[in-house]
Amino acid sequence: MTDTVTAAREGLTTRRHPPLRPYGLPRHSLALARRSLIKIGRTPEGLADAVFLPIIFLTMFVYLFGGAVSGSTKAYLQTIFPAAMVMTVIMAGMMATGINLNADIKKGVFDRFRSLPIARSAPLIGSVLGDMIRYVVALVALFGFGYAIGFRIHANPVNIVFASAVAIGFAFCLSWAYVLAGVVIREPSGVQGVAVLTLFPLAFGTNLLTPTSSMPGWLQAWVHINPATHAMDACRGLLLGGPVARPLAETLIWSVALFVVFAPSAVWAYRRRT
C-alpha cells in the first residue's frame, strides 16, 4: 500500500511539473502572434488604415508637392516613394501596436497569460510579431498604388525585398518604444497621444518631402540624427541606385540601439505592472 501511494504521488508530481521543452520562448511567442493574426482575420476592417493610409499619403504628397519640389509629379514620385516605405510602416503599424497592447492589458487579457507556463516576455513579443502583418499589408498597398501611378525601380528587382526588409526591420525595433508606452501608460487615448506627438517629427522630420539642404540649420541638424532619415536613404539607394553601405550601416546601428534600449525596458515595465 505504501509503495502504491508513493508511486501515485510521484506520478502526480511528474504530471504537475512536466519537463521543460526546448525553445519555449520562440514557440510561445509565435503561438501568441498567431492569436493576433486570428484577431485580424475576424476583424479585417482593422487593417483599413494600413491599406488606405499609404495610398492617401502618396496621393497627397505627389500631387500637392511634386510640381513645386521636382518640377513634375513623375520625378517627385521616384524620389519620395522609397522614403514613403519607411514612413508607411511607421505611421500604419507602430501606433496600433502600442494601442492594441494597452487595450489588451486594460481588459485583463494579459492577466490570463500570467497564469500560463510561458515566458513573461512572450505576450509582448507575440503582440509585436503579430502586428507585423500590418507592415506587410501597408507595403503591398504602397507598391501596388505606386506602380499604378508610375513608380519604377532603377535597380535589381530583388532589391525590393531588401528595401522592404530594411523598412520592416527598422519598424520592428522602433515599435518597442511604443510597446513600452503601451505598458506604462494607463489609457489607450494616452498611448495614441504620445504616438502622434512622436511619430510626426520622426516620420516627417526627414528628407522625405524635400532635400535636407533646403531646410534651416536647426532642422538639418535633426534630420541628420533622425534614424528614420538613414532608413529612408538606405531604401532610396536600394531602389533607385546610389549610396547604400553607409545609410544601411547607420540604420542597422540605430535599429540595434533602439531594440537594446526599449525591448528590455518594455519587458521590465510589463513585469512591474502585471
Would you say residue 1 lies in a domain?
no
User: What percent of the chain shows pLDDT beyond 90?
Assistant: 30
Expressed as residue numbers, the domain containing 182 is: 23-273
Would you say residue 14 lies in a domain?
no
More confident of the two residues 132 and 252: 252
pLDDT at residue 135 in the model: 87
3-state secondary structure labels for all residues of the chain: CHHHHHHHHHHHHHHHCCCCCCCHHHHHHHHHHHHHHHHHHHCHHHHHHHHHHHHHHHHHHHHHHHHHHHCCHHHHHHHHHHHHHHHHHHHHHHHHHHHHHHHHHHHCHHHHHHCCCCCCCHHHHHHHHHHHHHHHHHHHHHHHHHHHCCCCCCCCCCHHHHHHHHHHHHHHHHHHHHHHHHHHCCCHHHHHHHHHHHHHHHHHCCCCCCCHHHCCHHHHHHHHHCHHHHHHHHHHHHHHCCCCHHHHHHHHHHHHHHHHHHHHHHHHHHHHHC
pLDDT per residue as tens digits for the range 96-136: 777 777 777 777 766 677 667 677 777 788 888 887 888 88
Would you say residue 49 lies in a domain?
yes
Would you say residue 151 lies in a domain?
yes
| Distance from chain centroid for Cα 82 | 17
Would you say residue 179 lies in a domain?
yes
Reading the block at residue 154, the C-alpha cell is: 532603377
Q: Is the pLDDT of residue 206 over 80?
A: yes
Q: Is the pLDDT of residue 2 over 70?
A: no
Q: How far apart are CA 64 and CA 84, in angstroms?
A: 15
pLDDT at residue 170 in the model: 94
More confident of the two residues 11 and 39: 39
pLDDT confidence band for 8 (50 / 70 / 90): very low
Q: Work out how many domains the chain is built from and give that number.
A: 1
pLDDT at residue 24 in the model: 65
Collect all residues with Cβ–Cβ distance below 8 Å to 127 and sequence separation of at least 6: 32, 33, 36, 97, 100, 101, 104, 179
Would you say residue 13 lies in a domain?
no
List Cα–Cα distances, 40 to 50, 55, 107, 218, 258, in angstroms: 12, 21, 18, 42, 27
Read off the pLDDT of each residue in 183-212 and give the average, rounded to a whole number: 86
Would you say residue 10 lies in a domain?
no
Window from 113-122, 128-137, 140-149, 229-238 with minimum mean pLDDT: 113-122
Q: Is the pLDDT of residue 183 over 50?
A: yes
Window from 105-109, 159-163, 167-171, 180-184 with minimum mean pLDDT: 105-109
Report the amino acid identity of residue 12: L
pLDDT at residue 51 in the model: 86
Would you say residue 6 lies in a domain?
no
pLDDT confidence band for 11 (50 / 70 / 90): very low
pLDDT at residue 241 in the model: 83
Q: How far apart are CA 131 and CA 176, in angstroms?
A: 12
Compute how many other C-beta atoms are within 10 angstroms of the C-beta atom of residue 169: 17
